[in-house]
Amino acid sequence: MITPSAPRPATARWMLPLLLASLVLVAACGDDGVSPRVIQPPTVEASIDNQTVLADAEAFTTDLSTVFGDDDGSFNYSVATSNADVATAAVSETTLTVTPVGGGTAEITATASNTAGSANAQFTIQVNLPDPPTRP
């Protein structure tokens, strides 16, 4: 003898389609199980040596990507000088260029920043005037 089964609760009727729709949605999103990369703030990984140069010396350059750590291409670089009459400084992409101008001392501050924060690397440049020519 066959006994009629009890009617299924109403929640059971929509539970299976909801579960299947959720699985399809997760598969469509391409979830590969890897968490999104968290952007890290820059850190100073290497110092820039203090410089002593003559005022008529060539400009010198430093690659800032070797100074600041964890650069995944998201860093913005900037630079400031404490005394533009002694040395000027500029950044193009990751290259810092410092040009001696006149006698004295200047502090150069290079900054790397992104949405997570910023870091500064500082160094001093001492620019000496060349010896005047001797008279015959």
What digits encode the pLDDT tens for the residues 86-136? 999 999 999 999 999 999 999 999 999 999 899 999 999 999 998 777 777
Total structural domains within the chain: 1
Q: Is 45 helix (H, G, I), strand (E, B) or coil?
A: coil
Strands (E), the chain: 43-44, 51-54, 60-63, 68-69, 76-81, 87-92, 95-100, 104-114, 117-128
How far lies 49's CA from each of 3, 7, 114, 115, 136, in Å?
A: 90, 81, 24, 28, 39
Whether residue 32 is contained in a domain is answered as no
Whether residue 31 is contained in a domain is answered as no
What digits encode the pLDDT tens for the residues 38-77? 888 899 999 999 999 999 999 999 999 999 986 677 899 9
Q: Rounded to two decimals, what is the model's pTM?
A: 0.70
The contacts of residue 9 (CB under 8 Å, 6+ apart) are none
Whether residue 11 is contained in a domain is answered as no
Domain span holding position 108:
43-128
For the domain that residue 92 is a member of, what is the CATH number?
2.60.40.10
Task: Quickly count: other Cβ atoms within 10 Å of residue 74's Cβ.
Answer: 14
Residue 36 pLDDT grade (very low, low, confident, very high; cuts 50, 70, 90)? confident
Whether residue 2 is contained in a domain is answered as no
Whether residue 78 is contained in a domain is answered as yes
Which pLDDT value is given to residue 130?
A: 84
What residue type is 63 in one-letter code? D
Whether residue 60 is contained in a domain is answered as yes
